[in-house]
Structure 1
Amino acid sequence: MDRSFIGKKFKKYSSLLCFIISSFASNAQEAYWQMEVRYDMDIEFDTKKHQFDGTQKLKIINRSPDTLSKLFYHLYFNAFQPNSDMDIRSNWIVDADKRVGTRISKLTDKEIGYHQIETVQQGNKKLKWTMDQTILEVILAKSLLPGDSTEITMEFESQVPIQIRRSGRNNKEGIDYSMAQWYPKLCVYDKNGWHANPYIGREFYGNWGDFYVNIEIDNNYCVAATGYQMNTSDVNCSSKTDKKGKSKWKFFAPNVHDFVWAADPDYVHESFTRKNGQVLHFFYQPKEETKEWKKLPAVMDQALDYIEKNFGPYPYKSYSFIQGGDGGMEYPLATLITGHRNLTSLAGVSIHELMHTWFQMLLATDEAEFPWMDEGFTSYAEYETEQYLKKLGVLPGEKPDSIPYKGSFDAYNKIIESGLEENLTTHADHYHTNYAYGIASYVKGALTMVQLEYLLGKDVARQGLLDYYWKWRYKHPTSDDFFRVMERRSGAELDWFQEYWIETTKTIDYAIDTVYSDGKKQCKLILERVGLFPMPIELNVEFEDGSHALHYIPLDLMRAEKSFGMQKVNCHKSWHWVNPKYEVLIEEPLQKIKKITIDPDQKMADINRKNNVLIIN
C-alpha cells in the first residue's frame, strides 16, 4: 500500500480522534457542578458595645474544573458607613428607598456597621488580603485544585449597625438584634466565575453547605436562628435569666446557603407541631401590636398544606417566623418580619417569606442576575396560596379576587406607560430606578408564570414548576434551566417567549379589527397584532342565546398547542408571527353573535384590553 496514502489516512483519523476527545472533554467541563462549603463559626457578643468577636473556619471543596489561586468574601456590614457604595447610590438614585435615603451618611462611629479582619490563615500559613468596602480578596498560599479542599481560618471583629436594611439593632419595633448577612461570606464561584458584587442593598447569592454556629450572648437573651438548636436542654428562651454572665447557643443548619439569627430579651417562643412532625417556631415580643401572632400558627399550617401539594415538599424538620427589624426578609429555615400587623398583612408577609424557601432557598438562583425568578415566582406562589386560604375563609373578611392578578397587570401597564421599564436581564444592582427593579422582579416575574399558564394551560405550567423543583432543588438554576424544564414538560418551544419576555421590553397588544358576514351561515373576523410581541390567541364568541364557543389560534413559533383538557375548543391553523393580521372563519351567521372577546380569562399580558372586545348586537 502507498505509504503516502497511509500517512494521509492516519492524519485524517488522528484529527477525528482529537476532535472526539476534545468534544468529550468539552462536554465534561460543561457538566453541572457547584462549590461545596462548611462553616464553623463561634462568636462572642458584647451587647453594651453592639460588637462581637468571631472565629470562622471555612472548609471549601472545589467542585469546579478550575484551579483557584484566590478567594473573595462579602463583608456586608461595611456597607453601613458614610461614603460607602450603598450610601452614595442611595443619595443619587431618583427614587431612593425611604428606609435608607441619607441615613447611612449620618451614622456616627458608634452607629456604623463594620467587619474588621484580624487574621486569615490557610492551614498554618497567614494569607495576604485586601479589603475594598464590602469585598475582601484573599490570596491563597496554596492554590485550590479541582476536586481538592482547603480550610480557611479567619479571626474578625464586627459592629452591628443601627437598623437600616435587613440587618441591625434598635429597630422601631424594639427588637435588639436582627442578624442577617452578619458574617464574612464566601462569594460564589460558578461557571461564570466569581460573583464578587459590591453590596448596595439588593440581592444575595451563596454557596451550598452546612453551618455550625455557636453564639455566646448575655443570659437574658432569647436567640432564634436558621437551623436546629443543638443544646436546648442547656439553654432556651424559657431558661433566660437576668443573672450576670453569658449563655452559648449552638445551632446546626444542614445543606443551606446562608444563616440568620436574631436576639431579644423580650422574645417569647411558641411552637406548633404539624401532622407530619414538622415544627413551626414563632418568636416575637408579646404586645398589643403583636396579638395576631397567636393566630398565625394555624394559618401557616394550612398554607403549608397547599404549598407542599402544589410546589413541592418542605424538606427540613422545622421553620421559624421571627419578629425582626426590617420588613420581611427570607433566609433558610427562617424569616425575619416586622410584627406590628393585622392578620391579613401578617399572613401575607409570612406566606411570601415562607415561599422563598422554594424560590431561592431550595432553588438557589443568583438573585442578582435573576431577581424575577426569586421574587417573581415567590409572588406568584404567594398569590395562589392566599387565594386558596381566602376560599377556605381562613382570613376573615377576605374573598378571592374576581379577576386574578389584576393588580399585577395594572402595575405592569403603569410602568409601560411611564416609559421606565427595563428588561429582566438587567442585573439587580444596575436598574436605573428602584421602581423599575420592583416591577421587573416582583410583578413581571410573577406574570411570567401567568403567561406560561396562558401558553400551556394551568395544569401543565404548574406541573412544569414542580418538575423544576425536583430537578433543580439544592442547586443554582438559571433562566435557561427553567425554560428547558418547561419545554420538556409541555413539548412546546419556548425560546421565543424567553427572548421576548425576558430579554426585551416589547409588549403584547392584539385587537379585533373587523368582522363581516361571509354568507348566510358563516362570518369572518380579522385580528390584528398591534404590539411587537407575538402570542397564540384565544377567542370567546358569545351568542345571542347565551351559549359560547372558544376558538384557539396557535403561534407558529411555539410548535405546539395549548392543553385545554376536556374543554371543547375550535382550533385554527397557526398564526405566523411575521403576519400583522389574521383571518378567522366562524361557522355561524353574524346575526347570531352577541360579542367577541380576545383572551376571555384575561391571562395574557395585553397592554390594551379596550381593543380586545367587539360588541356586535
Structure 2
Amino acid sequence: MKAIALSLAGALALATTLAAAADAPRYDPLQTFAPYSYPDPVNAYRVGDGKPGPLFWQNRADYAIEATLDPAHRLLTGHETITYTNHSPNALDVLWLQLDQNRYKPDARGAFTSEFPTEFTSGYHIASVEVEDGSGHRQPVKWVVSDTRMQLRLPEAVKAKGGGVRVQIAWSFTVPGEFGGRMDVNHSKNGDIFEIAQWYPRLCVYDDLRGWDTAPYLNSEFYLEYGDFDYKVTVPSDMIVAGSGELVNPQDVLTGTQIKRLDEARHSDRTVMIRTPAEVTEPSSRPRQGGTLTWHFRMQNTRDVAFGASRAFVWDAARINLPHGKTALAMSVYPVESAGDAAWGRATEYLKASTEYFSKEWFPYPWPVAINEAGTAGGMEYPGITFDAKRAKGKSLHMVIAHEIGHSWFPMIVGSNERRHAWMDEGFNTFVDVGEDDAFNHGEYAPKRDSEYAPKGGNPADEIAAVLADPDAPAPLNGADMTPEKYRHPISYFKGAFGLVLLREQILGPERFDDAFRKYIATWAYHHPSPSDFFRFMESESGEDLGWFWRGWYQHNWQFDMAVRKVEAIDGDWSQGAAVTVANLDRLVLPDTLRVTYDDGTTKDIRVPVETWQQHRDYVVRVAGSRRVVSASLDPTHALPEADRTNDTLRVK
C-alpha cells in the first residue's frame, strides 16, 4: 500500500509538472526584441530610411516587337529589338534574358515542381540573335540556353553609367493549351480565345542586390526592368486584339462605327458597347474580309505587355475618372457565352470602379487603358490587362477583377520581385482590394472575407491564427518558389495582407499608416524595392521601431498568445482600483486591449503596448476605478490572431 501511495504521489507530481510546462510561457524578451538584422544592408544605393540612395541606379530595357499569330497552328512568330541601357557602375560583358516559354518543355525544371497539369510544348525556337554597334552594323552573338534563361556573350561589354546595346532576336513558339497556368488558348462557340503572355524573350534584372537576378521560371511570377514598348501583332482580319497600352492605329483595324463608339466611351461613365454580342458573327464588324490585319500598340514606362486575341470577342468600354481631372479607358472583351448583366456585362463597371478606387486611395493609375480579357487563365495580371475567368459571375467576377487590376499597383507600378517575395505583391494587393470590395457600389459585394482574405470564412484574426499554429507553415520571407502550394495562398496572400491590417489598425493607426504607405508607393513607383526597403521606409515614416514585428510576422511564423492571470482589488479594496496580471505566453508580441467590466455593467479599456514585454513575461496592470470588477478580458473585439482565446478572459468570483 505504501508503494502504491508513493506511485500515486509521483504520478500526481508528474501530472502537475507537465501541466505547468504546457502552460509555461515560450516567450523570451531577449529573442523577440533582439536587434533586428535587415535582409539587405544600408549603402549608398539604398539608405537607412528605406528610400533610394544618392547613388541609386536602375537599368532600362525598351522593346520594339513585331509578332504574327497563326491561330490554325497555334504558332506565334516574332522579332524584337531590345534597346538596353546600363546605368550600373559596372561594365556588362553578358546579358541574361528570360525564356519563359521553355517552362512548358517536358524537361523544364518547373515541370518537376508544379502540382498543376501542364500541356508540354517544345518551348522557344530561337532563330537568330544579333547585336548592333553605334553605326547600325549587326553581328551574331553566341548564346547559351539554360532552362528558362539565355545568356548572351557580347562581343564588346556594355559600358557602365549610361552605356547601351541594341539586341535583335528572332523567335517562335507553340502557344500552350488549357492547363491552368498564366497563358493559354481556349475554346468558345464563336472561335478560340488566345491569351498571350510571357511571349517574347525579356531582359532579366541586373540590380545592386544580386547583379543578374536569374531565378528560373518555375511557377512563381516575375521580376522585370522598366521601359517603353512599341509592339505590333498581326492576326487574321476577323480577330480582335486587346493589348496592353494604347491602340495607335484604330483606323487600320476597326470599323468607323467602332471608332465612333470608342470615342463615346471615353466620355461616358456608363458602359458603351463597341462590338455587341449580335455583331460578333457579322462580317460587317470587321473592316475587311480575308487576309490579315496588324494591330499596333504602345505603352510607356512599363515592365511588360500582354494581349488577348479572338474572333469571338464582345467588346465594351467606359471612362475611368482619375485624380487631377485625368481620365483613362476601361475595356472588357469576352465571348457571347459570358455576356449579360449577371456576368461579364458588368465587367467594365467593376474595372472602372476598382481602378478609380485604387487611384484615389493610393496612387493614380498611370496608363491610358485598363483591360479585362475573359478566358481560362483564371486570374492573371499584366500591365494594363488582366486575364479573368470567363465563367465568373457577380461577386466572384467583381472579386477577381478588382484583385487582378489591383496588381497594377503591386507589382506593376511598385516593381517588387515577385519571383522571390510573393507577399510584397499578392499580400499588398489583397490588402488594398479588400478595401475596394467594401467600397464598391455601397457594399454590394462586401465584405470580402470568404476567399482571398479569410480562406475558411469567419473572423480573419481567428483564420490567420490557425495558419500560425501550423508547424509546417513557412514564413513570408521564405522564397516564393520554396513555398508549397498548400501554403501559397495562406502565407503570400492572407498573411501578407493581414500583416498590413495589423500595422494599420493595431500598431500604427490609420493616420500614420496611410500616409507612410502612400509615400512608399510614390517613392518606389517604377523602381525595385526590397523587403528591407519596405521595412525601413515604414519605420522611418511612422516613427516606430518595428523590428520585433518584422521578425515575428515576416521572418518567422510565430504565434501570439496573451492571457489574463489574476484580477484582484488593490490593497483588498475595490475603491482603490484593480490589479490585473496579464502574461505573454508565446513569441509574437502585439499591442493589446485589456477590458475590465464592473458590477454595474460598465467597462473600461486600457491599451497594453508592446513595450510592456521588453522586460517582462507577465505584468500587473493597475486600473483606476471605484467599483468591483467582475471580469477582465484581452482583445475583446477579436482583432488579434490569438492562439488560445480560452485564457483571454478571467471572471472574478
Whether 1:266 and 2:316 are equivalent positions in the alignment is no
| Aligned mates of 1:180, 1:331 — CA distance in 2 | 8
Partner of 1:48: 72
Whether 1:245 and 2:291 are equivalent positions in the alignment is yes
Match of 1:219 among 237, 240, 243: 237
What aligned pairs does 1:294-443 form with structure 2 within 5 A after superposition?
294-389=345-440, 392-395=442-445, 398=446, 406=458, 408-431=460-483, 433-443=484-494
* Amino acid in structure 2 at the alignment position of 1:285: P
Match of 2:128 among 116, 119, 125: 119
Cα gap change, 1:333 to 1:615, in 2 (>3 Å):
farther
Deviation at 1:304, TM superposition (A): 3.4
Give the SS at the match of 2:316.
strand
8 Å Cα contact 1:175-1:324 kept in structure 2: no
Cα gap change, 1:394 to 1:134, in 2 (>3 Å):
same
Whether 1:231 and 2:249 are equivalent positions in the alignment is yes
| Aligned mates of 1:393, 1:502 — CA distance in 2 | 31
Percentage identity across paired residues of the two chains? 25
Match of 1:149 among 152, 161, 164: 164
Deviation at 1:471, TM superposition (A): 1.1
Residues 299-358 of structure 1, C-alpha deviation per residue, up to 9 Å, x if partnerless?
Answer: 443333432222222122221111133111111111110121221111000000111111
8 Å Cα contact 2:45-2:55 kept in structure 1: no
- Structure 1 segments of 4 or more deviating over 6 A? 23-30
Partner of 1:481: 533
Partner of 1:190: 207
| Aligned mates of 1:260, 1:401 — CA distance in 2 | 31
8 Å Cα contact 1:281-1:321 kept in structure 2: yes
What aligned pairs does 1:104-183 form with structure 2 within 5 A after superposition?
104=119, 107=120, 112=121, 114-123=123-132, 124-146=138-160, 147-164=162-179, 165-170=181-186, 175-183=192-200
| Aligned mates of 1:29, 1:363 — CA distance in 2 | 17
8 Å Cα contact 1:299-1:394 kept in structure 2: no
| Aligned mates of 2:44, 2:147 — CA distance in 1 | 42
| Aligned mates of 2:427, 2:633 — CA distance in 1 | 28
* Amino acid in structure 1 at the alignment position of 2:159: L
Aligned residue-pair number: 556
Match of 1:66 among 90, 95, 98: 90
| Aligned mates of 1:172, 1:202 — CA distance in 2 | 28
Partner of 2:640: 604
- Once superposed, what is the RMSD of the aligned Cα atoms? 2.5
Deviation at 1:296, TM superposition (A): 3.0
What aligned pairs does 1:531-550 form with structure 2 within 5 A after superposition?
531-550=586-605
Give the SS at the match of 2:253.
coil
Match of 2:330 among 271, 277, 280: 280
| Aligned mates of 1:236, 1:542 — CA distance in 2 | 70
Cα gap change, 1:399 to 1:500, in 2 (>3 Å):
closer
* Amino acid in structure 2 at the alignment position of 1:259: V
Residues 438-493 of structure 1, C-alpha deviation per residue, up to 9 Å, x if partnerless?
Answer: 22100110011011021111232122211111111111111122222222332111
8 Å Cα contact 1:420-1:436 kept in structure 2: no
* Amino acid in structure 1 at the alignment position of 2:146: D
Deviation at 1:180, TM superposition (A): 1.1
Moved more, 59-68 or 478-487: 478-487
Cα gap change, 1:410 to 1:156, in 2 (>3 Å):
same
Partner of 1:254: 300
8 Å Cα contact 2:449-2:460 kept in structure 1: no
8 Å Cα contact 2:46-2:56 kept in structure 1: no
8 Å Cα contact 1:387-1:401 kept in structure 2: no
Deviation at 1:211, TM superposition (A): 0.7
Whether 1:80 and 2:104 are equivalent positions in the alignment is yes
Partner of 1:446: 497
Deviation at 1:270, TM superposition (A): 0.7
Partner of 2:18: none
Deviation at 1:67, TM superposition (A): 1.4
Cα gap change, 1:428 to 1:218, in 2 (>3 Å):
same
Cα gap change, 1:313 to 1:602, in 2 (>3 Å):
farther
What aligned pairs does 1:83-98 form with structure 2 within 5 A after superposition?
83-90=107-114, 96=115
8 Å Cα contact 1:175-1:323 kept in structure 2: no
Residues 83-130 of structure 1, C-alpha deviation per residue, up to 9 Å, x if partnerless?
Answer: 32121223xxxxx2xxx23x44xx4xxxx1521111111111210001
8 Å Cα contact 2:411-2:425 kept in structure 1: yes
Deviation at 1:257, TM superposition (A): 0.2
Deviation at 1:541, TM superposition (A): 2.7
| Aligned mates of 1:211, 1:277 — CA distance in 2 | 21
Cα gap change, 1:313 to 1:125, in 2 (>3 Å):
same
| Aligned mates of 1:253, 1:423 — CA distance in 2 | 36
Q: TM-score when scaled to structure 1?
A: 0.85
| Aligned mates of 1:255, 1:544 — CA distance in 2 | 64
| Aligned mates of 2:145, 2:638 — CA distance in 1 | 52
Deviation at 1:172, TM superposition (A): 7.9
8 Å Cα contact 1:534-1:577 kept in structure 2: no
8 Å Cα contact 2:244-2:383 kept in structure 1: yes
Whether 1:456 and 2:508 are equivalent positions in the alignment is yes
Deviation at 1:400, TM superposition (A): 7.4
Give the SS at the match of 1:506.
coil
Match of 1:588 among 609, 614, 625: 625
Cα gap change, 1:171 to 1:372, in 2 (>3 Å):
farther
Give the SS at the match of 1:476.
coil
What aligned pairs does 1:194-213 form with structure 2 within 5 A after superposition?
194-213=212-231
Gaps of 5+ in 2: 1-42, 133-137, 259-284
Give the SS at the match of 1:274.
strand
| Aligned mates of 2:107, 2:489 — CA distance in 1 | 25
Cα gap change, 1:579 to 1:552, in 2 (>3 Å):
same
Give the SS at the match of 1:234.
helix
Q: TM-score when scaled to structure 2?
A: 0.80
What aligned pairs does 1:509-588 form with structure 2 within 5 A after superposition?
509-518=561-570, 519-521=573-575, 522-556=577-611, 575-588=612-625
Cα gap change, 1:89 to 1:407, in 2 (>3 Å):
farther
* Amino acid in structure 2 at the alignment position of 1:229: L
| Aligned mates of 2:46, 2:616 — CA distance in 1 | 41
| Aligned mates of 1:427, 1:361 — CA distance in 2 | 20
Deviation at 1:413, TM superposition (A): 2.8
Cα gap change, 1:379 to 1:171, in 2 (>3 Å):
farther
* Amino acid in structure 2 at the alignment position of 1:227: G
| Aligned mates of 2:372, 2:186 — CA distance in 1 | 19
Deviation at 1:606, TM superposition (A): 2.5
* Amino acid in structure 2 at the alignment position of 1:605: P
Cα gap change, 1:548 to 1:303, in 2 (>3 Å):
farther
8 Å Cα contact 1:172-1:325 kept in structure 2: no
